[in-house]
A and B are shown apart, each in its own frame.
Chain A
Amino acid sequence: MTTLVAVAENRNGTRFAEEAMGHLDTLYRGALRLTRDPAQAEDLVQDTYVRALRYQHSYQEGTNMKAWLFAIMRNLFWDRFKGGRPEDVSLDGDGELSLYDTLKDPTAVPESEVLDRIAADEVVRAVERLPELHREVVLLVDVEGFSYKDAAQVLGVPIGTVMSRLHRARQQLQKSLQDYARESGIVREEKESA
């Protein structure tokens, strides 16, 4: 009996490990965006897997393992690199960016063309310049395709917080990319008035 149980447990462990390893590339990319440093990203990912292995009994088979792993990694990131998990304070200032408005001009360069001409490196840099609390929401929702609900669970915040951080992050990204497009001459300078 004991042997059969041991064999079954071993098989479960292997399945767990295989599934977890299937998320390695995506976790590493997330770690790279969070730490902005390849060596730290490796450490973070390794620690994430060690912790995942230790707590694998708390993972329920058939649920979202990617979300579970991201939650472990995200908490480790804050504990290890930022000296503690963030309070759920609002980063959101009042100053609404008016970039949506500046782009209303129908004679302006079509947005899709502008975006097509922005280098991938510049987009990554713009994401990495976001404050961590905004960056992690963008990673979860826009890069990993998590629902707001799953993202809220990973981050341990209400869905409303996910929404406001995401909105703010997108405004910042848009401003970053817009500034870059102007500075590099992809779009012409717009007049102050109008």
Chain B
Amino acid sequence: MNCNGCLEKLDLYLDRELTDAELGDVRGHLERCPPCEHRYLLLAGMKRLVKVCCDQGAAPSHLRQKLVQILF
């Protein structure tokens, strides 16, 4: 696998959307290629950051109460 092939699959690799064989190919390339690994780490760091930052906060309690009345 060359760099272009690796970069094309980087999103899929990050999101665990590859077959085991493809996964192994990408991982193998990343271990040998610091620039691609660098890109991967950045991409992975961003995904983690987005998840952590956007996944905070609860629904207001008055909304919850209103929904309980509607649903039950």
Whether a CB of chain A sits under 8 angstroms from the CB of B21 is: no
Cα separation A121 to B72 with both chains bound (whole Å): 36
Whether a CB of chain A sits under 8 angstroms from the CB of B1 is: no
- Give which listed residue, A45, A139, A147, contacts B54 with CB less than 8 A: A139
A106 and B38 within 8 A (CB) = yes
Given known A49-B70, A148-B17, contact A111–B38 (CB-CB < 8 A):
yes
- Give which listed residue, B7, B54, B60, B67, contacts A143 with CB less than 8 A: B54
Cα separation A46 to B70 with both chains bound (whole Å): 9
Of the listed stretches A16-24, A59-67, A75-83, A186-194, chain B binds A16-24
B contact residues, range: 35 or more
B60 and A42 within 8 A (CB) = yes
B38 and A103 within 8 A (CB) = yes
Count of residues in A whose CB is under 8 Å from the partner chain: 47
B63 and A45 within 8 A (CB) = yes
Given known A49-B67, A49-B70, contact A170–B43 (CB-CB < 8 A):
yes
- Give which listed residue, A28, A33, A104, A127, contacts B59 with CB less than 8 A: A28
Task: Find chain A residues with CB under 8 A from B35 CB.
Answer: 104
Which B residues form the contact surface with A (CB < 8 A)?
7, 11-12, 15, 17, 34-35, 38-39, 41-43, 45-47, 49-60, 63-64, 66-68, 70-72
A-B pairs with lowest CB-CB distance, top 4: A28-B59, A123-B53, A17-B71, A111-B42
